[in-house]
Amino acid sequence: MTLFFFCQPLYYNVLDIKAILRCFELTSELRVNFDKSHVGALGVSPENLYAFSKCLNYCQMVLPFKYLGMPIGGNPKRALFWSLVIEKIKARLSRSKRRVLSTVGRVCLIKSLINALPLIYFSTYKAPSCICNQIRKLQASFLWGWGYEGRKNSWIGWKKVCNPNSVLLAKW
């Protein structure tokens, strides 16, 4: 179980969290596993974070960390932040799949699977244009290429195959 507490970084708030967790242990007859428990904070001095971790008897969490596969505490304006998404897309768009699938199968793979992979990233963070262009290049290369390098023939403009969706951030 993962718990997130959002509060002011004050010592008495940490004591309240400790009391809440102790009440949970007493009422549910379950124990908090201190080996798996970590405390982390954004915008808090290392000294305060150390004091909070000692108070809760938890390990300190190192930034950036991953939560549900999503990096927390990284800089989404840097290309390194998006390298995990690019690597996942490259792994899904292998040459062997490109040779075996028909054009319709490749379009279905791009629209269903590959567009869903970065969706959680795009709905949370605004991607730099260089990352969007790199993803489009990978998708276009997979769609039109037949396993050889060099110029590939495209039968329709890429903008008509995949229209950009800029409303993902509007829901937040």
- Given pLDDT bands bounded at 50, 70 and 90, which one contains residue 157? low
Query: Which pLDDT does position 167 carry in this prediction?
Result: 47
By C-alpha distance, which of 73, 78, 72, 115 is closest to 93? 115
pLDDT digit string, tens, across residues 20-65? 888 988 999 888 887 788 887 777 888 888 888 888 888 888 777 7
Query: Which pLDDT does position 23 carry in this prediction?
Result: 92
Query: Which pLDDT does position 158 carry in this prediction?
Result: 61
Query: Which pLDDT does position 149 carry in this prediction?
Result: 59
78 contacts: CB under 8 Å, gap ≥ 6: none
Between 172 and 16, residue with greater pLDDT: 16
The domain limits of the chain are 11-62, 69-171
By C-alpha distance, which of 114, 163, 167 is closest to 141? 114
Query: What is the pTM (predicted TM-score) of this model?
Result: 0.59
Encoded tokens for 122: 């795009």
Torsion of CA 103, 109, 112, 117, to 10 degrees: -140
**Angstrom distance (rounded) from CA 27 to CA 22:** 9
**Angstrom distance (rounded) from CA 88 to CA 18:** 39
**Angstrom distance (rounded) from CA 124 to CA 171:** 10
Query: Which pLDDT does position 138 carry in this prediction?
Result: 83
By C-alpha distance, which of 161, 73, 68 is closest to 115? 161
pLDDT of residue 75 exceeding 70, the answer is: yes
Query: Which pLDDT does position 109 carry in this prediction?
Result: 80
pLDDT digit string, tens, across residues 98-153? 777 877 788 778 777 777 777 778 888 888 889 888 888 888 777 776 555 556 66
Strands (E), the chain: 38-39, 59-60, 65-67, 70-72
pLDDT of residue 170 exceeding 70, the answer is: no
Between 166 and 39, residue with greater pLDDT: 39
**Angstrom distance (rounded) from CA 13 to CA 44:** 14
